[in-house]
Chain A
Amino acid sequence: MTTIPDFRKTVPQPLPPVQFNIPNFSRTTLDNGLKIVVIPDSRLPLVSYRLAFNWGDVNDPEGLNGISSAVAAMLNEGTFEYSSRQLADQIERLGASISVHASDDFTILSASSLSLYGSAILRLAAEMALRPTFPEEELDLYRRNTIEHLKFQRSQPGFLANEQAARLLFGGHPYSRVSPSADDIEKLTRDELQRIHSAAMIPNNATFVVVGDVDKEEIVREIDDLFSGWRPGEYIVPKFADFPERKERTLTVVDRPGSAQSNIVLANRAIDRKNPEYFPTIVMNQVLGAGASSRVFMNLREEKGYTYGAYTRLDTKRLGGDFEATAEVRTAVTGDSLKEFFYELERIRNEDVPGGELDDAKNFLTGVFPIRAETQEGLTNLIVNQLLFDLPNDYLQTYRKNINAITSDDVRRVAGLYVRPDEMAMVIVGDAKEIIPQAKQFAEVIEIFDTEGNSTVLPDHEAAAN
């Protein structure tokens, strides 16, 4: 029989802390309004570029759903100088990558390569951003492939849940569309793509970020050479419908016969990215459900074994956002899982978070911060977000201080404001005839959809309703 040495019995003390300093950066603006930010990073012979526009799917004009994403996707399908094939060959021959993606709020061209090929890849990025031709035959292929992808994503339960949740929370606002329809895609024309490209991709609505093994003056000069001829335009701020007000909890079931699980999304509208309550709200979310040590995971997975993972999530966009609690659970415990979710949602609203638990959440958020900045891509993304959301200049430098200032009162206050169980949209994707008897006690209003997004009833509706 051996005794356990004392050092095994308690958590070891950390070593002395090591400082981590996020590099400061300066900005340059070209005459045409293009903002340039350069952060030299010579850890490895790599360079990352981002050309980011304040223009996203939210800017799709009336009747042209999906066009901003189409413009983004088509930038590598042909330019004045190169065909689609030639672009792919040129980029990949350097072992590099360039991709363009439109999200709700922004369109971002991302390019990265060995610094050895930094100038060549920058030239190709400029060619794609400034001189795309949207060839008819490539657009035709884009339309047909996208329509098939739209059909494919209807086989995925996560997509079906998000589609309904966005519709319920955002109503007539463009944030309600997680995807265009096949009809929308059919309607896209080359003329319209060119028009949107000219309206969206203007230098005075863009930011160019460079992080990597570069010489600052030299890279600004290169960007100036390639982009100074780009003519500014006028960005017209679109008008959006108000978000709908929700007054009661509703249940929306997407019937997906053959499902092995229920996908649960419980959602209410919450904060936009610049909301002054951002810091208390992310701390609250960390306590409640952001990670594997958070409350809903510990309850639904570790104690109950209902699911592989249960989480809460904040989606903070430029104009609004939402709070979601999600889990994929086995069908037979759908009702029990809802009960545990609502228990946790009420608890964080009605009880103070104990000091130790609050400190744990704050320590996580401040501690992972340097880990997120470890890779060049990670550091670049932090900086691009700060710039696109127009956060304060010292945002990254003061992030940890702001987290550390949050109190238990703050957490309780924002939980009361932004966790709204009585107004939640409950969306469940799975086998409706099994789900409804378990879930109907949680909401007065019940609606059922098929996987195509059409309103439907169960074949044996009476059985379920009784």
Chain B
Amino acid sequence: MTEAFKLQPLDIEEYSLENGLRVVLNKDEAVPVVSVAVYYNVGSRNERPGRTGFAHLFEHMMFQGSENVPKAGHFQYIMKAGGTMNGTTSSERTNYFETLPANQLPLALWLESDRMRSLAVTQENLDNQREAVKEEKRLRYDNQPYGQIFDLIAEMIYKNFANSHSTIGSMEHLDAASVEDVREFFRVYYAPNNAVITISGSFDTQTVKELIEKYFGDISKQPLPAELDVSEPTEVAETYREWEDKLAPFPAFLIGWKVPARRTPEYNALYLAGKMLYDGDSSRLYQKLVKGDESVIQLFGFTDERRGPSSIFVGAIPKPDKDLSKIRDVIMHEVADIAKNGPDPNEMQKVNNQLVNDAVRTRQSSMSRAQQIAEFALYDGDPSLINSELEELLAVTPDQIREAVNKYLNTENRALLDIVPAGKG
């Protein structure tokens, strides 16, 4: 039935300013709301040794004021205009975004352009945000059971420093960050020619273009940073590690595989294989382990999609009396079954319907459209891929899935992390 389904293409217009800022407009007037997403081509992968966590700390500094916007003014202006905003940092990019009532678009452009051209950096603000980031690290990682396992397994999977270190970084490196580091990072990575701005929602195209030229047109371009080497050998850095978690109530394990870059045919095939293995109550591993054997409390899996070598994970928190190695055998047995026999037709139909459903659903909000479009523009140089991505995924064949699983989800490029509860002892 999926063949009959044609998704209405989104209206996409792309152009560049003279200073190299790439602009993408996606007009959609269903609701009088507009979203702005600014994506800078810098993430934790660009950090140097001794400065892990810096890209994210820098993201916090972007809310500390600029020439014409006071400290914390960004939050306040957006919220008092009835908008929402945030910024996030990943290995791949740092993004800043806001959603506002449609008539408040000039405010977003004023704020984003002022910090792109004239970020204010002071020792006091840096010290304050360093503390906020340390609390974020404690909150999300250090004070949560199993909170650190995804950072640990990335170290095991990747050999290249650019890929292997965590985005939140270490306390020591956060302490070492200086005002000079912040200024240099801003100069190198926060230039208009290293960024994409996407505007999605309700607007008049001519008005938006004039506003963008007015606010961003006079920001100077910079020499682009050197091309980053994120290449990796096939095998993982470390195949096994045991880790004591003093907050974990139960033993657990996490398996990670190193796989090819996003949007390669192999990655797409593995993304679909992952859905078959762990996504939803009808997935293979849920039916085998949560139902069937009744051996796990929690099962989870996902892909970490990057421009370079990426990864795919499966993990479980087994019930207290269960043998972890038997559970891993079940997982590897299912993986081997797909590697040998490929997915069955029902699974293919299911995954295809899920892909269509996901694609339609994520188009509902102007913010999720703006973010997806900005990623395609930044990573692939082609924002209109949002209109062909679904077809690309639906074109994956059972044979491609079988071959990719066979080639990549084996034990050579597999990292296994055993988590041992160390509290209360």
A residues engaging B (CB < 8 A)? 4, 7-20, 43-46, 76, 84-85, 88-89, 91-96, 113-114, 116-117, 141, 144-145, 148-149, 151-152, 154-157, 257-261, 291-293, 298, 301-308, 328-330, 359-360, 363-371, 373-377
Contact code string B106-134 (vs A, CB < 8 Å = 1, else 0): 11011000100000000000011111111
Within 8 Å of chain A (Cβ to Cβ): is B224?
no
The interface size bin for chain B is 35 or more
B139 near A293 with CB under 8 A, answer no
A114 touches B5 (CB 8 A): yes
- Which are the 10 A-B pairs with shortest beta-carbon distances? A367-B82, A95-B353, A305-B131, A18-B32, A95-B357, A360-B80, A12-B106, A88-B281, A88-B282, A308-B136
Structural contact, A148 and B319, CB atoms closer than 8 A: yes
Whether the Cβ atoms of A330 and B31 lie closer than 8 Å is: no
| Interface secondary structure of B, over-half rule | helix
Considering the complex, give the chain A residue whose CB is closest to the CB of B29: A18
Residues of B within 8 A of A96 (CB): 353, 357
Identify the closest chain A residue to B101 (Cβ).
A367
Q: Which residue of A lies closest to B31 (CB)?
A: A374
Q: In the complex, how many angstroms separate the beta carbon of B116 from the nearest chain A beta carbon?
A: 12
- Collect the chain B residues with CB atoms within 8 Å of residue A92's CB: 280-282, 350, 354
Within the complex, what minimum Cβ distance (angstroms) separates B241 from chain A? 21
Interface pair A305/B354, CB less than 8 Å apart: no
Q: Which of B66-74, B156-164, B371-379 contacts A (4 or more CB under 8 A)?
A: B66-74
Is B33 among interface residues, defined by CB-CB distance under 8 A?
yes
Asked whether any CB of chain A lies closer than 8 Å to the CB of B346, the reply is yes
Interface residue B226 (Cβ < 8 Å from any Cβ of A) = no
CB distance from A164 to the nearest CB of B (A): 17
Question: Are A152 and B297 touching (Cβ within 8 A)?
Answer: yes
Across the two chains, which residue of chain A brings its CB closest to B355? A95
The reply to whether B423 and A368 contact each other, CB–CB distance below 8 Å, is: no
Residues of A within 8 A of B84 (CB): 368, 371
- CB of A293 within 8 A of CB of B356, answer no
Interface CB pairs A-B, < 8 A, 17: A4-B68, A8-B114, A12-B110, A18-B202, A43-B30, A85-B282, A114-B5, A148-B319, A148-B320, A152-B145, A152-B297, A156-B144, A260-B142, A291-B75, A292-B79, A293-B72, A370-B32
Q: Is the CB of A308 within 8 A of B132?
A: yes
Number of cross-chain contacts by CB at 8 Å: 224
Question: How distant is the Cα of A369 from the Cα of B33 in the complex, in angstroms?
Answer: 10
Given contacts A114-B5, A155-B249, contact A85 B291 (CB under 8 A): yes
A382, chain B: closest CB distance, angstroms: 13
B294, A14: Cβ atoms closer than 8 Å: no
Cα–Cα distance between A366 and B100 once the two chains are bound (Å): 11
B294 touches A293 (CB 8 A): no
CB pair A154–B360 under 8 Å, yes or no, is no
| A330 in contact with B135 (CB, 8 Å) | yes
Whether A93 pairs with B72 at a CB distance below 8 angstroms is no
In the assembled complex, the Cα of A260 lies from the Cα of B366 at a distance in Å of: 38
Residues of B within 8 A of A13 (CB): 106
Q: Which of the listed residues B128, B136, B139 has the most CB atoms from chain A within 10 Å of its own CB?
A: B139
Q: Max chain A CB contacts within 10 Å: which of B103, B134, B214?
A: B103
Confirm or deny: B248 has a beta carbon within 8 angstroms of a beta carbon on chain A: yes
- Checking B67, B100, B356 against A95 with a beta-carbon cut-off of 8 angstroms, the contacting residue is B356
Residues of A with C-beta under 8 A to B1: 116
The yes or no answer to B105 lying at the interface (CB within 8 A) is yes
Contact A371 B33 (CB under 8 A): yes
| CA distance in complex: A12, B78 (Å) | 12
Interface residues of B in 82-106 (CB under 8 A from A): 82-84, 99-106
Give every chain A residue within 8 A of B127 (Cβ-Cβ).
Answer: 305
What chain A residues lie within 8 Å of B138 (beta carbons)?
Answer: 260-261, 308, 328, 330
> Counting CB contacts under 8 A, is B149 at the interface?
no
